[in-house]
Structure 1
Amino acid sequence: MTTTATHPEPAGTARGAARGGLANMAGSALAGGAGVAVTWIVARVLGPEEAGALFAATAAFVLAGGLAKLGTHTGLVYWPARLRATGRDHLLGACLRAGLPPVVVFSVLLAAAMWVAAPWIARLTAGQTPHVIAEHTAGLRVLAVFVPLQALTDVLLTVTRGYRSMRPTVLLDRILRSALQLLAVGAAGVAAMGAAASLPVFAFAWAVPYLPVVILAGFAARTAYRKGLVRAEITRTERRRLRRDFWIFTAPRAVAAVAQLALQRVDVLLVAALGGLAPAAVYAVAGRFVVLIQFANQGLSQSVQPRLAEALSTGDRAAAKRLYQIATGWLVLVTWPICLLVIAFAPRYLRLFGEGYAAGVPVVLVLAATMLVATGCGMVDMVLAMAGRTSANLANVLIALAVTVGLDVLLIPCWGAIGAAAGLAGAMLVNNLLPLAQVYRGTRLHPFGAGTLGAAALAIGCFGFVVLVPAAVVAAVPAYAAGAWLLRGPLMLGAFRRKS
């Protein structure tokens, strides 16, 4: 049967992803840099134990916020894309009303639960340093107040991405929130010079930027909704069916999203509980560059996600494969030099945070090597979800979480932060290689196009030698830029140029 649906030209699809991805990655670079600066301030101003307590508290906060979103950060992109691709634009408003109210209610309940459980969480993670428990509890309660704002900010910005608008995410989350967070934490650090540093004050400074950002995100989501509004009669049956289908798709992703966040954050809590707050601070500082890589991955994923969803929902696997491979090539081009430079300069990088953090060098080496594999697979878990395999996605993340928790419990008591790094490395390998096999088996999609392979070879050729001879970085950087220019065809770098 022949359909009349038309698919966007590959160059146009790549250009749209490039524009959104470039802006998002630029914002992500700023957010990642601000995050490193915030970590540096906390590590320098607070002692290792207080810094470890703050890192553990923010990990709990991020986990609570991720749980509160109920997986809607995928559903509110997938379903608008699907509705547009199938000519049901009039249901977009009903889709938003299906996803937003449960997040608001559940986030308030989770905030209350975190407030009540704060003393227990503090005793669990600071049991070896009882003098920190009171301040740790206060810091957790400060953060609990902001859980609904965090969840609502992320969901409202997801709504704008569902309408294929990346600008609000870049401007409000990546740039504004990160800048305000850096300024607020910096002000707390300056204030601490004349008085004893207070963990709750740093917690407040870290979280308070969510207040202005959630208000602006609400305006952005409202504008996107009104701009794409299609007025048509919606029957009760249509609304009920959409709500059911939305949550059938989203519910498994909700659990997967929490498990995915747990993969990134639970290790800090486990190091604090099993090894102590000081090792938790070392681990958090040593792994900070991983967050920078994850920001880059997230930035590209969020730009590619709606276009990939539309391609897969209309059965255009050729466009989906091309988009996946192009985006992975860009990701490797950006992230592999960072990983290799971090390996080469790990001791110098850690000494920036203080002499006490030099013990984290093995952690950096393990995680940086693993990130080379993870980024080489591209945004594979998102591809699996956009192909409708959310249940498989959930199973993969739960397996990876079991791996990291199991290895952490076994290794942290003996090896401390290095044991946690081994646990996270094992989980990242599982969480990338398993869905990679499933995506290829189910859709014949894979990330290893000419651009991906070329970018990988270029990064290893230019920066692999820097690992052995750090001074070679002076020649590696211009050589890499020249190589990227020569590979601009396979990498589709022309998509970043303005259309004439």
Structure 2
Amino acid sequence: MTATLPDRAARGAARGGLANIAGSALAGGTGVVVTWIVARTLGPELAGAFFAATAAFVLAGGLAKLGTNTGLVYWPARLRATGRSHLLGACLRTGIPPVVVLSVVLAAAMWAGAPAIARLTAGESAHVVADHAAGLRVLAVFIPLQALTDVLLTVTRGYRIMRPTVLLDRVLRSGLQLLAVSAAGVATLWLAASLPVFALAWAAPYLPVALLAGYAARRAYLSGLVEQRPGPASERRQLRRDFWVFTGPRAVAAVAQLALQRIDVLLVAALGGLAPAAVYAVAGRFVVLIQFANQGLSQSVQPRLAEALSTGDQVTAKQLYQTATGWLVLVTWPINLLVIAGAPYYLRLFGDGYVSGVPVVVVLAGAMLVATGCGMVDMVLAMAGRTSANLGNVLIALTVMIGLDVLLVPRWGALGAAAGLACAMVVNNLLPLAQVYRGTGLHPFGPGTRAAALLSVCCFGPLIFAPSAVVVAVPAFVAGAWLLRGRLMLRAFIPMRRTN
């Protein structure tokens, strides 16, 4: 049996995407358990300080990566597609060293600035400032390892190899974090709860994962050595210029994107207090789970989409975008609707004080329905070479979020931050959606997307009013997905049979 190029691309994306989504589900699940342990063990104020510290850690690591999580996928894919594989080594040497240098600088800055950051985000909880600063300093030590891990795993994805990302980042790191944080939680039975200890337990897994990621990146690079000639120096200089012209705007956009996801916790802590920040972080944890699913599919689609767009193959690019969006909606819309229905019940597991986060869940879940319905639109815009437009969109969305947070958090607390993030997410998806359609003619609303959305709403929408109907919704959803498997392109997950 033979397959068209779009079908082969969809099958390749399905194989990598399925593994990534499975790994993302595991990482998201362990993340929820880690959040539960921290919330139950440290109490609202120290838990809020922990979530603020990890938000600062992730922001610093995102800044250190300089947008290479896009550039080191786009350029290797483009070089291979255009017959310039001999420049792959120069591409890696262009992208990796600046990340290492900047991550060390940011680690030193966070170490030195830890007391000031702690005082700024602790608000009226002055008694936790010392522990908060110590936790920030523990995390600062691991910023270079976090940045290096991410960039090395990006290198493997640039070679269409998804396994290291799944096994090392999703499975190993998340599993080690769960074990280490659980051990820290058990230790509190005999010793006083300590934020620095929990910070160390959460960050320490980056050390073994960074070493293994380096090994995986080296293997990927050696496997792609098809030509030994380095090419003329002028060609390498041009590549370096082109690499940073493309990646530079994405570096700022990546930090702004991370700020959209993380800075709201810091703003709630600074403007509303550490206890509301803990409520907001716990209530919004499901958003991270859905972002993991989006990221899992995006990372598998990204190199294939880059190759298709770089060679002008609009048919393959359109099918990849629409098919992947249908899969994303099929996975995430039921989760969104389930968390809306179940929020009053599962938030109690974190403690009675966290039930006040139910409106936060409802607002953010509504925004996530819009965001996932647009698919990985920001990645499509970047792979089309529009990184400057991507940057502008994210900065507009970030301005919307910060402006609304400053206005609403002092009055509404965590709900104000949720409103700010929800509006920012809508802006950050609808703007690039219009730009992608105008610039390339691509859009995510294919037959699979429409079928997945209708099936999800019909099966899980009623749960908002009758949560007990979940016993009917799940089998109805599975049966509907089977009946609509053609529209949803689920056959891409089935290995092809070869016949003579």
TM-score above 0.5: yes
- Paired AA for residue 413 in structure 2: G
Alpha-carbon distance between aligned partners in 2 of 1:72 and 1:297, rounded to the nearest angstrom: 19
CA distance in 2, matches of 1:494, 1:174: 25
* Equivalent of 1:10 in 6, 16, 29: 6
1:384 corresponds to: 381
Indicate the SS of the match to 1:194. Answer: coil
Worse-superposed segment, 50-59 or 231-240 = 231-240
Q: What's the offset of the Cα at 1:233?
A: 3.5
The alpha carbon displacement at 1:232 in A equals: 1.4
Taking the aligned partners of 1:128 and 1:265, their CA distance within structure 2 comes to 21
Question: Hey, what's the Cα distance between the residues in 1 that align with 2:442 and 2:135?
Answer: 45
Partner of 2:474: 477
Pick from 166, 173, 179 the counterpart of residue 177 of structure 1: 173
- How far, CA to CA, are the matches of 1:71 and 1:8 in structure 2? 33
Give, in angstroms, the shift of residue 127 of structure 1. 2.4
Q: Distance in 1 between matches of 2:410 and 2:463?
A: 34
SS at match of 2:278: helix
For residues 199-233 of structure 1, give each alpha carbon's deviation from its aligned partner in whole angstroms, at most 9, with x where no partner exists.
00000000000000000000000000000012114
CA distance in 1, matches of 2:60, 2:4: 39
Partner in structure 2 of residue 70 of structure 1 = 66
1:368 equivalenced with 2:365 (yes/no)? yes
The whole-number CA distance in structure 1 between the counterparts of 2:6 and 2:305 is 12
Could you give the per-residue CA deviations for residues 20-76 of structure 1, whole angstroms, max 9, x where no partner exists? Answer: 000000000000000000000000101100000000000000000000000000000
Q: Out of 189, 212, 219, which is 2:185 matched to?
A: 189
Residues 1:130 and 2:131 are matched in the alignment = no
Matched letter for residue 370 of structure 2: V
Which residue in 2 is equivalent to 1:457? 454
Matches within 5 A, 1:378-457: 378-457=375-454
Corresponding residue SS for 2:188 = helix
| Structure 2 letter corresponding to 1:102 | P
Q: 5 Å matches for 1:81-480?
A: 81-229=77-225, 230-480=227-477
Rounded Cα–Cα distance in structure 2 between residues aligned with 1:426 and 1:84 = 39
2:6–2:315 contact (8 Å) kept in structure 1: no
CA distance in structure 2 between the aligned counterparts of 1:74 and 1:371, rounded to whole angstroms: 23
- Which of 7, 31, 48 aligns to 1:35? It is 31
Task: Please report how far the alpha carbon of residue 498 of structure 1 lies from its aligned counterpart in structure 2 after TM superposition.
Answer: 1.6
Structure 2 alignment gaps of length 5 or more: none
Aligned residue type for 1:78: Y
Q: CA deviation at 1:187?
A: 0.3
Deviation at 1:344, TM superposition (A): 0.6
The residue aligned with 1:48 is 44
Q: 1:349 and 1:256 mapped to 2: Cα distance?
A: 34
Displacement of 1:234 in angstroms is 1.6
| CA contact 2:123–2:271 (8 Å) conserved in 1 | no
Residues 450-489 of structure 1 deviation map (CA, whole Å, 9 limit, x = unaligned): 0000000000000011111111110000000000001100
Between the aligned partners of 1:195 and 1:107, the Cα distance in structure 2 is 34
Percentage identity across aligned positions?
79
Can you give the 5+ residue segments of structure 1 that lack an aligned partner in the other structure? 1-6
| Stretches of 4+ aligned residues off by more than 6 angstroms | none
CA deviations 1:106-155 (Å, max 9, x no partner) are: 10000000001101100000021000000000000000000000000000
Question: Following the alignment from structure 1 to structure 2, what is the Cα–Cα distance between the partners of residues 285 and 161?
Answer: 31
Normalising by structure 2, what TM-score? 0.98
Question: Cα distance, 1:189 vs. partner?
Answer: 0.2
- Give the whole-Å Cα distance in 2 for the aligned partners of 1:8 and 1:296: 27
Q: Secondary structure at the match of 2:180?
A: helix
CA positional deviation for 1:8 = 6.3
What is residue 61 of structure 1 aligned with on the other side? Answer: 57
- Work out the number of aligned pairs and report it: 494
The alignment partner of 1:447 has SS state of coil
Partner of 1:26: 22
